[in-house]
Structure 1
């Protein structure tokens, strides 16, 4: 398995993973909109953002996540990594891919000098919460969102 930044050609596969976490979505069925194109281009152009894909030996995208590196004055000026949009293909779960995906993403953040890794997860995703707990993440804060 390889963890690396996504290419533009892999955008449909990433969107397919994000479309439905309960079933496998065919990337060919995904519509890539101009807004997706702009967002992907912005992520690619920003040194503090990465859309990472986990690719198997056959070149199939089996997982993804977005890492954003946030500068801050806390933690002695160290960056923090914000991880979002974590997905593993529905038909590939249960074999440790998610754990390996997160292990490598955390190692990337550590190698970059980040002082911590943080993430949010929808309150309804109880299985994901157990997964993050098992990785050592602590539920230390309440999160708030305001839809605009």
Structure 2
């Protein structure tokens, strides 16, 4: 059974204000999935079920996730599933996108994605900008700069 989002918000990388309000008010254990829009002229490569089953890579179009902690005061979790292969953090560093001080890598797997934890109280706008930029870098196709946020309650 698919879970339906509580809310869907269209936004652009240059105007994240509508999403910031949602992230500031996200319930404990709630999460937001961020799906980028692909440039209209770009053909997204399709994957067969067999290739998907045995491939060590995720999808060409990334999916970014922001998860609120389950318990007050714990760390926020950011995740990105992507198709750019292993060593995502190294690839981000090659594009001058380093992990900020205090952020921790929880996982960097080519199929399951990149998972980062962010200290509670970190600037929400800065963290969201980092997540969107990372998604853009790790995308295997050209993105338009527009995103769709889908919010979920625990």
TM-score (norm 2): 0.29
TM-score (norm 1): 0.29
Q: Which has the higher strand share?
A: 2
